[in-house]
Chain A
Amino acid sequence: MSTLEIKDLHVSIDTEQGTKEILKGVSLTIKTGETHAIMGPNGSGKSTLASTVAGHPRYNVTSGTITLDGEDVLAMSVDQRARAGVFLAMQYPVEVPGVSMTNFLRTAKTAIDGEAPSLRHWTKDVKAAMAQLRIDADFTQRNVNEGFSGGEKKRVEILQLELFKPKFAILDETDSGLDVDALKVVSEGVNRAHAEGNMGTLLITHYTRILRYIKPEFVHVFVDGKVVEEGGPELADRLEEEGYDRYVQGAGAATIAAADAAAQA
């Protein structure tokens, strides 16, 4: 049983106009076996939260803490976090030229487990996982994400999730850009990983669509760098009907006005 705890997290980035605060005090606790959905409008800071947990150098944590079973995650390098069990399925997976999927998957697995996987089992596992996610076998020969369609990239992220078996999975808009069939395939992958019983999931999404396939116990509404409301699955149903307008009237409206002003300046 593991716990990922985010406490009063403040994050800013350096922009040409100076420092900009994006996360304004986020607190969140996820335990093994739980699924949390973070829902929020565009630009509210969802990806910032995800990338900060993974350790992307662009984001500066100005205050607050992130711990994994009490260990200070913020003190870890990006690769240490991954080896500690944090997995980020990225909203926009990066193309890595020159590195074949086969080589990449094996290298990552070896790094995460601290030893090379037995070749025979590994090849079989990869094949099986790919088949379940309906990824063509020849993808292993291609370079990481190179030339993959948006939907293919997302499947490959979930492929890694299934193969690397992290303690905590952060899925950043894994649903966006997927058609209904792909959405089902991908959701099944997440559910399979979850069903093994050793993973907590943070599901970031803009739409409620994916929640038909992946059932969260907790829903957090994220607006302007903060959690503005929390509840159970019924909150998602309500968002489905009402959208974010209710929240955006408050803090969000101010943000939009500020953005407009900035755009005109």
Chain B
Amino acid sequence: MTDITTEKARIGAPSSQPFINGFTEEGESLSPLNAAESKSPLAGEAVKAHSHGGGVGIPDSSRAGRLTSYKLADFKPLTGMEEDWRFTPLKRLKGLHTEVLTGTGPSVAVTAPDSVRVETVGRNDARIGSAGIPEDRVSANAWENFSEATVITVPAEVETESEVSVVLTGQGTQAAAQHVVIVAEKFSKAVVVLDHQGTAVVSENVEIVVEDGAQLTVISLQEWNDDAVHASSQQARIGRDAKFKHIVVSLGGDLVRVTPSARFTAPGAEVELLGLYFADAGQHLEQRLFVDHGVPNCKSNVLYKGALQGRNAHTVWVGDVLIRKEAEGTDTYEANRNLVLTDGARADSVPNLEIETGLIAGAGHASATGRFDDEHLFYLMARGIPEDVARRLVVRGFLNEIIQQIKVPAIEERLTAAVERELAATNH
């Protein structure tokens, strides 16, 4: 075990000076905005006043102090100054943060092996609320407004032979709410794909329960139409010795903001949070994840990779990893890598690792935003490879690291084709 002498180390905190002066990781390149940003005035007070998890003595900007509540009224109206909304263009949320969400939510079509239970339930079902409490206003708004939920249960000890496919098809631009619950019971094993398509303006809560010894993969695909707006809070509770793999793939939509979180509830569990995004001109693709190590001897590994091209393509990645005092023996690593293909695109990347105990196995983070630069291009072209082929080679290789983790051949093929399509657009 590594004995970290600093009792509480905060590395790469988004809203203040780096804890360790000049601390940078292999080419970490936070945007000047991030580096210079002064602390948001709202970050502290509101949080402490309502917090379920935090309390006295928790620093304002600590993830442990974030307000959580099922009630919309507990969250103040958004101004865009909030730490967790400061990158999001609120105007483009199309009312998800201000309106009552009365629109028709995306239709849900589930294809699953017979061994998997699929139900549509009302708000009062006992399983609602089993994994998550909203952590922001948009999520709370959906919680307050959804009328029915889809519950997918993989029964104990069942190992599914094929994936569970959940196709969510948008029904138009009226702001709507959506609720999905996925339960992997003890020692079950399954892959669930949430496949978001069409046009929607939707705030979605996905609750994921991974019971003791279960192995669950959840893949959330955002291949929306260009005009879609999607906020998705995907919260997972992880049981003892469970394995959870979560893969976010955001390609389509005007504004997509996915906020996955994984909370360990018992020792011995492992999570892998992976992500891939490819932003075109004008798109805003945001991912903010949270790994909450609150118990000993759990492992987490985070890798998000993004490519950007075109004017005002904007991606945001914020990775909060919290290792609480109790979480001795934690082993965690988080990394975000962005590849900027053209001028005028912007990638914000903020790793935020909070460590409250010195008795951990390992903790690290890396963030790098690279340009596909002239030297890479020169090297490949000097070996006879034409420019467009060189560009594809690099992007494909870069994103493939995530795609090949999906391990559902049909989806891997589909995504490879989707990336090719995005790349074809680069040439224009």
* B76 interface hit (Cβ, 8 Å): no
Question: Quick check: A98 and B398 within 8 Å, CB to CB?
Answer: yes
**B410 interfacial contact with A, CB 8 Å:** no
Q: Mark A38-68, 1 if CB is under 8 A from B, else 0.
A: 0000000000000000111100000000000
CA of A57 to CA of B397, assembled, Å: 25
B168-176, B185-193, B294-302, B370-378: which one contacts chain A? B370-378
Asked whether A94 lies within 8 Å of B376 as measured between CB atoms, the reply is yes
Given A57-B374, A94-B376, A107-B389: A78 and B397 interface contact (C-beta under 8 Å): no
Given contacts A108-B384, A111-B386, A111-B389, contact A78 B378 (CB under 8 A): yes
A57-B374, A97-B370 given; A82·B397 CB < 8 A: no
Complex alpha-carbon distance, A155 and B78, angstroms: 57
CB nearest neighbor in B for A99: B397
* Residue B407, interface by CB 8 Å: no
B379 and A97 contact, CB distance less than 8 A = no
Quick check: is B380 within 8 A (CB to CB) of the other chain? Answer: yes
A96 interface contact, C-beta 8 A: yes
**Distance in angstroms between the alpha carbons of A104 and B389 in the assembled complex:** 11
The verdict on A230 contacting chain B, using a C-beta distance below 8 Å, is: no
In the complex, per-residue mask of A56-90: 1 if CB is within 8 Å of any chain B CB, else 0: 11000000000000000000011101110000101
* In the complex, chain A residues whose CB is within 8 Å of the CB of B389: 107, 111
On whether the beta carbons of B384 and A96 are closer than 8 Å, the reply is no
Contacts of A143 in B (CB 8 A): 397
With A79-B387, A82-B383 known to touch, is A57 a contact of B393 (CB < 8 Å)? no
- Residues from chain B with Cβ under 8 Å of A96 in the complex: 376, 379-380, 394
With an 8 A cutoff between CB atoms, is A233 at the interface? no
Chain A positions 204 through 246: 1 when the CB is less than 8 Å from some CB of chain B, otherwise 0: 0000000000000000000000000000000000000000000
Q: Which of A98, A103, A111 contacts B384 (CB 8 A)?
A: A111
Q: Is A168 an interface residue (CB 8 A)?
A: no
Counting CB contacts under 8 A, is A3 at the interface?
Answer: no
Contacting residues, chain B, for A99 (C-beta < 8 A): 380, 393-394, 397
Assess whether A104 is in contact with B393, with CB atoms less than 8 Å apart. Answer: yes
Residue ID in chain A nearest B376 by CB atoms? A96
- By a CB distance below 8 angstroms, the chain A residues around B387 are 77, 79
Q: Report the minimum CB–CB distance from A122 to chain B (whole Å).
A: 15
CB distance from A101 to the nearest CB of B (A): 11
Contacts of A77 in B (CB 8 A): 381, 387
B400 at the binding interface (Cβ < 8 Å): yes
Q: Is residue A11 within 8 Å, beta carbon to beta carbon, of the partner chain?
A: no
User: B424 an interface residue at 8 Å Cβ cutoff?
Assistant: no
Number of residues from A at the complex interface, CB < 8 A: 29
CB distance from A244 to the nearest CB of B (A): 29
B385 and A108 form a contact (CB under 8 A): yes
By a CB distance below 8 angstroms, the chain B residues around A54 are: 382
Q: Which residues of B contact A79 (CB under 8 A)?
A: 381-382, 384-387, 390
Q: Is A193 an interface residue (CB 8 A)?
A: no
- A112 in contact (CB, < 8 A): yes
Contact: B382 with A98, CB < 8 Å?
Answer: no
Are B381's CB and A82's CB within 8 A? yes
Q: How far apart sit A55 and B374, CA to CA, in the bound complex (Å)?
A: 12
Write the nearest CB–CB distance from A105 to chain B, whole angstroms: 9
Q: Once the chains bind, are A98 and B383 in contact (CB under 8 Å)?
A: no
Could you tell me if B378 and A57 are in contact, using CB atoms closer than 8 angstroms? yes
**B161 contacts partner chain A, Cβ-Cβ < 8 Å:** no
Q: How far is the CA of A90 from the CA of B381 in the complex (A)?
A: 13
Q: Indicate which residue in A56, A88, A94, A103 contacts B397 across the interface (CB closer than 8 Å).
A: A103
Complex alpha-carbon distance, A108 and B382, angstroms: 9
Contact of A98 among B378, B379, B394 (CB under 8 A): B394
Per-residue contact bits, chain A 90-126, to B (CB 8 Å; 1 contact, 0 not): 1001101111100110011001100000000000000
B380–A104 contact, CB under 8 A?
yes
Does B395 reach chain A (CB closer than 8 Å)? yes
**A59 to nearest B CB, angstroms?**
11
CB distance from A87 to the nearest CB of B (A): 8
- B401 near A: Cβ within 8 Å? yes
Tell me if A97 and B394 are in contact (CB < 8 A).
yes
Contact residues in B for A100 (Cβ distance below 8 Å): 397
B380 contacts A112, C-beta separation under 8 Å: no
Give, as a whole number of angstroms, the nearest-CB distance from B174 to chain A.
41
> Which of B379, B384, B393 gathers most chain A CB within 10 Å?
B384
Whether B397 contacts A111 by the Cβ 8 Å rule is no
Complex CA distance for A96 and B379, rounded to whole angstroms: 8
Contacts of B378 in A (CB 8 A): 56-57, 78, 94
* Distance to closest chain A CB from B309 (angstroms): 15
Report the separation of the CA atoms of residues A99 and B339 in the bound assembly, to the nearest whole angstrom.
13
Q: What residue of chain A has the Cβ atom nearest to residue B398's Cβ?
A: A98
Give the complex CA separation of A211 and B278 in angstroms: 50
Q: Is B383 a contact of A94 with CB atoms below 8 Å?
A: no
Interface centre among A54, A56, A88, A94 (most CB of B within 10 A): A94
15 more CB-based (< 8 A) A-B contacts, given A82-B385, A99-B393, A108-B385: A78-B378, A79-B381, A79-B385, A79-B386, A90-B382, A94-B375, A98-B395, A98-B399, A98-B401, A99-B397, A104-B393, A107-B385, A108-B383, A111-B389, A164-B383
A-B contact pairs, 7 of them (CB 8 A): A55-B382, A79-B387, A98-B394, A98-B401, A108-B383, A111-B383, A112-B383
